[in-house]
């Protein structure tokens, strides 16, 4: 990723903490993928690997991609702790998602969770990720909804990094995709002072027609 969104930025962020994320799979992935038949999955922007491990534990063969080498090392370690069967189902790939093109029509599931990129970088990346979905496969995109600019919970304060379900759906050719879910979902959270709060996730799940 370029500029402030590149490898140096993310490696430094990961090195500042023993763990940046919770270690739990993203809840919208669990909700939307729990009933999908296991196949091949692309976890785009895999971070510390919780989603990739969750998928592999359910029989998926996962390609986990991230710009941060530090995150990938942590992901591989988490997979090893989950056991040999899980670890061997995951391939860890060090790539810049704003430039990398996955193999077209190759994955039964492509998941992009909370990609914090400006629109000029994000939308071409989403199109490349969509092209990687196999016929009858699933594209799952989850992000921070623009309404989260008003929450006290830590969120990106740059409006260009947040997007709606309509923003994502508009990138998909209607003749090639069935939009299964296009939603704004409230989710319980905690603000920096420990008080309960609500955030909103943009969720798009689409099936490639074929």
Residue 192 CB-density burial (10 A; 0-12 exposed, 13-18 middle, 19+ buried): exposed
pLDDT tops 60 at residue 35? yes
Q: How confident is the model at residue 36 (pLDDT cuts 50, 70, 90)?
A: very high
Look at 81-85, 154-158, 178-182 and tell me which has the smallest mean pLDDT.
Answer: 154-158
**pLDDT, mean over the chain:** 91
Contact 159, 145 (CB under 8 A): no
Tens of pLDDT, residues 105-124: 999 999 999 998 999 999 99
**CA–CA gap between residue 185 and residue 127 (Å, rounded):** 23
- What backbone phi and psi angles, to 5 degrees, belong to 37? -70, 135
Contact 140, 43 (CB under 8 A): no
For the segment 6-16, the average pLDDT, to the nearest whole number, is 78
pLDDT tops 90 at residue 98? yes
User: Domain extents for the chain?
Assistant: 3-208
Residue 59 three-state SS: coil
CATH class of 3-208: alpha beta
Tens of pLDDT, residues 187-196: 887 877 788 8
């Amino acid at each position: 990723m370029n500029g402030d969104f590149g490898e140096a930025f993310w490696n430094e962020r990961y090195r500042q903490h023993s763990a940046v994320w919770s270690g739990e799979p993203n809840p919208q992935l669990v909700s939307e993928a729990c009933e999908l038949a296991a196949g091949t999955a692309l976890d785009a922007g895999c971070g510390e690997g919780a989603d990739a491990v969750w998928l592999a534990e359910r029989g998926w063969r996962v390609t986990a991609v991230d710009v941060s080498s530090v995150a990938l090392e942590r992901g591989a370690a988490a997979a090893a702790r989950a056991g040999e069967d899980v670890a061997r189902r995951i391939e860890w790939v060090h790539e810049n998602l704003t430039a990398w093109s996955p193999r077209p029509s190759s994955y039964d599931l492509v998941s992009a969770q909370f990609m914090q990129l400006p629109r000029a970088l994000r939308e071409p990346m989403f199109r490349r990720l969509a092209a990687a979905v196999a016929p009858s496969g699933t594209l799952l995109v989850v992000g921070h909804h623009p309404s989260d600019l008003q929450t006290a919970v830590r969120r990106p304060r740059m409006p260009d990094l947040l997007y709606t379900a309509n923003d994502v759906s508009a990138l998909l050719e209607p003749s090639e995709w069935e939009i299964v879910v296009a939603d704004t979902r409230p989710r319980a959270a905690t603000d920096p002072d420990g008080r309960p709060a609500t955030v909103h996730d943009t969720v798009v799940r689409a099936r490639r027609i074929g």
